[in-house]
Structure 1
Amino acid sequence: MTQRSDDSRHLTIRKDGFTISTDPELIDGAYVVDFLTTTAYWSRGIDPDLIRSALRNSEVLGLYEKTGRQIGFARIVTDYALFAYLRDVFVDEAYRGRGLGLWMTETALAHPRLQTVQNWMLATEDAHGVYAKAGFYSLKHPDWYMQRPGKGLTDT
């Protein structure tokens, strides 16, 4: 059974003993920064202060087990009107295979403040099947998109 509550600022959804919340006060910053800087292939080695800044400047979703311990995370970079970029989605290895990553993705897409967004994007190396279940697909026109590496990065 799914329970949903949202106030004017935060969304909380409970299902099967797990909770997703958009309340940034609940995020275990040390846990998220550690995972992103040491474990996640897409951000391993990034300066922890940059990760902390990214968290402060994004819409965040925390995934929690029934004890309240954080076991997953996602963040959304957005203008809250037309565009949103889903990134840094992860679930603790011990909890994978239960559909929790898909649930976080669906929760992000259903966020009340993001219902006017016309273009959702994400990048993944290995979870295409999960995101396809949430309606994501490969770029229709990849030749329209360009990228530029930032300071200190190389084009890989």
Structure 2
Amino acid sequence: MNNFVISKDKSLLELDTIYSWLQHSYWASKRSKNKIKKSIENSVCYGVYDGDKQIGFARVITDWTVMYWLCDVIIDEKYRGQGIGKKLIEEVIHDDDFKDLFGYLGTKDAHTFYEAFGFVQEQEKVMIRTPDYLRNE
């Protein structure tokens, strides 16, 4: 990871950078900046940094006892292919807060990536309800 640092310190997060990344994602492009800000406030967040520059992000929602939901995992395009995403996921799944909990996530295109960390695809068990702001467009 060279000089890259992973931190759960929310004061280091760059909201504008995270918002920009998520606006270009397939899963969060319709989220408002305020919605992203509130989601960060109510989640455990991991930032990846190259010096003072944020280059990655992941968010975890949890009940601290049974399960966590890993979401909004993203690495700046300029830094992809260097193993940074792998280190970020390792940090999350080995975190003392989460290592003994069931981990869940949703992905359209990264199944193989997450399978390397022990995630297993179980589509027949998952249901989803789309929020009103997306369903009523």
TM-score by length of 1: 0.81
Q: Offset at 1:144? A: 3.1
Q: How does 1:33-48 map onto structure 2 within 5 Å?
A: 33-36=19-22, 38-48=23-33
Aligned to 1:5: none
Q: How does 1:4-153 map onto structure 2 within 5 Å?
A: 15-36=1-22, 38-65=23-50, 67-117=51-101, 119-139=102-122, 142-153=123-134
CA displacement, residues 77-116 of structure 1 (integer Å, 9 cap, x when unaligned): 1111111000000001111011111111110111122233
Letter of the structure 1 residue corresponding to residue 78 of structure 2: A
Contact kept, 8 Å, 1:102 with 1:131, in 2: the verdict is: no
Q: Equivalents in 2 of 1:149, 1:127: separation in Å? A: 21
* Runs of at least 5 residues in structure 1 that lack an aligned partner in the other structure: 1-14
CA displacement, residues 32-67 of structure 1 (integer Å, 9 cap, x when unaligned): 12221x2111101211111110010000000011x2
Question: Percent identical across equivalent pairs?
Answer: 32
Q: Offset at 1:68? A: 2.0
Letter of the structure 1 residue corresponding to residue 25 of structure 2: A
Q: Equivalents in 1 of 2:67, 2:27: separation in Å? A: 21
Report 1 or 2 for greater relative contact order, CA contacts < 8 Å, sequence distance ≥ 6. Answer: 2
Q: Equivalents in 2 of 1:154, 1:94: separation in Å? A: 34
Letter of the structure 1 residue corresponding to residue 107 of structure 2: T
Letter of the structure 2 residue corresponding to residue 144 of structure 1: K
Question: Equivalent residue of 2:133, what SS?
Answer: coil
Contact kept, 8 Å, 1:102 with 1:133, in 2: the verdict is: no
* Runs of at least 5 residues in structure 2 that lack an aligned partner in the other structure: none
Q: Which runs of 4+ in 1 moved over 6 A?
A: none
Letter of the structure 1 residue corresponding to residue 12 of structure 2: L
